[in-house]
């Protein structure tokens, strides 16, 4: 017994000696003298550093707000709800709001706008069981646009250009049965503008070709027909020109662009201009790049969305962030996001970023190149709002310059933005580890004390004369470092 007790004491002592210089799970030595509780690591005799004024480094970048979620409530009051929120969003750094398809759908007061019936009924015609749309009246929509413009915020309309819904029955000789392809004043088109028949949909006397649609195949508009082009974007009273010149919309989000050819978007934008983005629901960056080249329009960066989901959720492996993404080759055309009305609607395992990882995903898109979109339900979540305001402020100020990955492994990711001119740039450190992590990296700042502008860490390291600095990320969180005064 005594021999075993003595052996245990020796083993315990040996383990304590080894513990005085431990290694993290990636093999980097962690100095036990480092205080990982957040005590500032300042040079002896120096004063407490002060944060720089981020507004002094305005880089001209802003963000877009997706101003809705699926099945918004309250019904008939959404435009008024947004009108109240726009001034605060503008103060936070939002320059555009993307609203749902604003015209009357077949589902009437329950429609989210993606079953378009009358492109010119904004809540001012009695049809499909209601005058107002789910979102409110035309007057309330016009007020929202006016309030937004008063706050220097653009309004982006969701445009559904292929599938229609809510017309009347008529015999369709090209299908040899009755189809719901009659749109007139008595059948789903009370405005009387852009009346349609089976000749305006695939197939018809002009076109056999149908690019395909997952929705309402019998009422998939044929964009090759001159009449359809005239009503959608060419004529002075076309959908595009009416939305821009009469309603005051500033740009377009094109729904389900897989359902029609990219030249349609190109011609629309050439006719009316404005900001545009296409929903090409595909995680393959080559597919997105091909569509951008053909349409001339930016696209939502589903490749980055899925890489974030894989990295943070599905595989818990941050090395996926080294892979190809749209923003890496086309940053000016990549509209990045972490959630939208579709991904949040179903919350499918591989089509959704978990709530616990949302802010790490936002930290990524708000520090990297690309044009970030904030999701309404995330921003209006009181658990996220202040953190998102901080990230937007960082994005609009010091997220500038070239991007370089300084370190990446399964549970750590460190990225540097080099800054431009007097703009200092930043270093993002994301960790999936259960413990506080430290990593020594190369910065652009020599002999400068840094701080975490996200507020997640109070650790304030000082770089050496060569710019080397040890930064810290809290457990399962992130930090964003830059210089101090």
SS3 at position 337:
coil
From the list 279, 378, 387, 452, the catalytic residue is: 279
Say how far residue 479 (Cα) sits from the centre of its chain.
20
Please indicate whether residue 324 is annotated as part of the active site: no
Kind of pairing between the strands at 154-159 and 94-99: parallel
How far apart (Å, rounded) are the C-alpha atoms in residues 55 and 45?
30
Please indicate whether residue 282 is annotated as part of the active site: no
DSSP type of residue 194: S
**Would you put residue 152 in left (φ > 0), alpha (ψ -120 to 50) or beta?**
left
- To the question of whether residue 118 is assigned a binding role by annotation, the answer is no
CB atoms within 10 A of CB 472: 24
Answer whether the bond into residue 196 is a cis peptide, omega within 30°: no
Q: Can you say whether the dihedral through the CA atoms of 473, 477, 481, 485 is positive or negative?
A: negative
- To the question of whether residue 350 is assigned a binding role by annotation, the answer is no
CA angle 478, 41, 480 (to 5 degrees): 20
Q: Give whole-number Cα distances, 396 to 27, 60, 95, 365, 469, in Å.
A: 36, 7, 11, 12, 25
- To the question of whether residue 204 is assigned a binding role by annotation, the answer is no
From the list 255, 310, 344, 472, the catalytic residue is: 255
How far apart (Å, rounded) are the C-alpha atoms in residues 265 and 297?
7
Active site residues: 255, 279
Output the known binding site: 162, 230, 236
Output the known binding site for Ca(2+): 162, 230, 236
């Amino acid at each position: 017994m005594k021999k075993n007790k003595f052996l245990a004491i020796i083993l315990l002592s040996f383990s304590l000696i080894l513990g005085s210089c431990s290694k993290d799970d990636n093999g980097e030595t962690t100095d036990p003298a480092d205080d990982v509780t957040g005590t500032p690591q300042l040079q002896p005799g120096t004063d407490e550093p002060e944060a720089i004024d981020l507004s002094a480094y305005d880089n001209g970048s802003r963000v877009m707000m997706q101003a809705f979620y699926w099945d918004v409530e309250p019904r008939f009051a959404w435009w008024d709800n947004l009108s109240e929120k726009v001034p605060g969003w503008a103060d936070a750094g939002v320059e555009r709001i993307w609203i749902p398809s604003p015209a009357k759908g077949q589902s009437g007061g329950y429609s989210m706008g993606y079953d378009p019936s009358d492109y010119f009924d904004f809540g001012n015609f009695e049809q499909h069981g209601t005058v107002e749309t789910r979102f409110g009246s035309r007057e309330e929509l016009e007020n929202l646009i006016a309030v937004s413009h008063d706050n220097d915020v653009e309004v982006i309309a969701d445009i559904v250009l292929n599938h229609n819904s809510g017309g009347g029955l008529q015999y369709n000789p090209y299908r040899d049965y009755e189809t719901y392809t009659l749109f007139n004043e008595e059948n789903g088109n009370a405005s009387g503008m852009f009346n349609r028949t089976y000749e305006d949909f695939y197939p018809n006397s002009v076109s056999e070709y149908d690019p395909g649609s997952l929705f309402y195949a019998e009422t998939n508009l044929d964009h090759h027909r001159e009449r359809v082009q005239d009503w959608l974007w060419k004529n002075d009273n076309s959908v595009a020109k009416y939305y821009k010149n009469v309603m005051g919309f500033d740009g377009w989000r094109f729904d389900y662009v897989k359902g029609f050819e990219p030249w349609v978007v190109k011609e629309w934008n050439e006719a009316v201009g404005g900001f545009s983005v296409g929903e090409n629901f595909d995680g393959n960056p080559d597919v997105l790049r091909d569509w951008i080249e053909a349409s001339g329009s930016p696209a939502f960066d589903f490749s980055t969305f899925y890489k974030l989901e894989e990295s943070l959720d599905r595989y818990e492996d941050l090395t996926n962030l080294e892979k190809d993404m749209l923003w890496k080759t086309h940053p000016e055309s990549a509209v990045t996001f972490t959630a939208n009305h579709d991904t949040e609607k179903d919350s499918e395992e591989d089509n959704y970023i978990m709530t616990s990882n949302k802010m790490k995903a936002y930290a990524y898109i708000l520090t990297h190149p690309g044009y970030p979109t904030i999701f309404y339900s995330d921003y209006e979540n009181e658990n996220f709002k202040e953190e998102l305001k901080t990230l937007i402020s960082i994005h609009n100020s010091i997220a500038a310059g070239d991007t370089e990955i300084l370190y990446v492994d399964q549970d750590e990711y460190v990225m540097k933005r080099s800054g431009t001119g007097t703009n200092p740039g930043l270093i993002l450190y994301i960790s999936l580890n259960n413990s506080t992590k430290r990593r020594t990296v190369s910065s652009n700042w020599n002999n400068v004390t840094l701080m975490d502008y996200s507020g997640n860490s109070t650790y304030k390291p000082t770089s050496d004369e060569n710019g080397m600095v040890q930064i810290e990320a809290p457990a399962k969180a992130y930090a964003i470092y830059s210089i101090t005064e």
